[in-house]
Amino acid sequence: MPVEKLIVYVISDSIGETARNVVKAAMSQFYGKDPYEIKRFPFVTDQNTLSDILTNAKQQDAIVVYTLVEEKLIEFLEDFAQKENITTIDLMSDMLKKISGRLNKKPKREPGIIRKLDESYFKRIDAIEFAVKYDDGKDPRGVLKADLVLVGISRTSKTPLSMYLANKHIKVANVPLVPEVPIPKELSDVSSKKIIGLTNSPEKLNQVRTERLKALGLSSKANYANFERILDELEYSEKVFKKLGCPVINVANKAIEETAGIILDIMKENGLNIFKDGEI
């Protein structure tokens, strides 16, 4: 005799949304507009809670679909279900066993790990959006919200470093230094531990600025690439760095990764939180 209304309990140690979607996809093969009900129970991490849910599932003659990774909880659920004759479907264990066999590696068995991965992704996106919003001094208020502020004259790798560090979940604002333009007053409210000055050799600056002008179709004789102008800018930036009391890194002949590594070391020494590779 067909069931009038099938009830499915989705039990997860995380959000349970993936399991819910799998159940919906399966149900679509049997139901059109016919009734069925999915009851989702997220963040189930202890036996008492699990016992209460399974008792209700028994009373409602429900199928139990679960994505649990803790072996003790799985054993408890299956023992309970066997005694009470509850139909269960384990969406996770068989997959973990087969992947484990291929990789010859044990799974972490850590509840909610995919949610943490998602959180890591969104933190990275948030930091990247921050870097874009507060790039090149677009809004000086950004320095007050930033985890780190990079200051330096043009062509000292401020933007690429900001984006690289954003991928480490670090919110970076960068401020260009121009002798004719006063530095943002907001910088005086930022701890020197959160500010890093960037400089470059005059020869390297002359080279990269000349190439930049050519790429823009402009004359290489423009003041932007003038050697005397570059020396003036470097002298000005040194005065600003001393005033701010911040560490200074010369990026000449350094890859972005190398400079970023130095910055991360400085942040760590100053007690600032940083993202570690492999960290979730």
Q: Is 157 annotated as a binding residue?
A: yes
220 is in an annotated binding site: no
The rounded distance, in Å, linking the Cα atoms of 195 and 245 is: 9
Distances (CA, A) of 260 to 110, 125, 158, 201, 251: 31, 18, 11, 18, 10
* Helix axes of 227-244 and 202-215: crossing angle, nearest 10 degrees: 120
Who contacts 81 (Cβ-Cβ below 8 Å, separation ≥6)?
A: 54, 64, 87, 88
* Nearest Cα residue to 194 out of 130, 275, 270: 270
Tokens found for residue 141: 């208020």
Q: Is 100 annotated as a binding residue?
A: no
Annotation-wise, does 154 bind a ligand?
yes
CB burial of residue 187 (10 Å; 0-12, 13-18, 19+)? buried
**Cα dihedral 261, 126, 247, 270 sign:** negative
Residue 159 annotated as binding? yes
Residue 58 among known ligand-binding residues: no
Q: Give which of 150, 179, 185, 175 is closest to 256, Cα–Cα.
A: 150
For residue 112, the SS3 value is coil
- Residue 3 is classified by DSSP as -
| 155 annotated to a ligand binding site | yes
φ, ψ for residue 252, nearest 5 deg: -55, 130
Binding residue ranges for ADP: 152-159
Binding residue ranges: 152-159
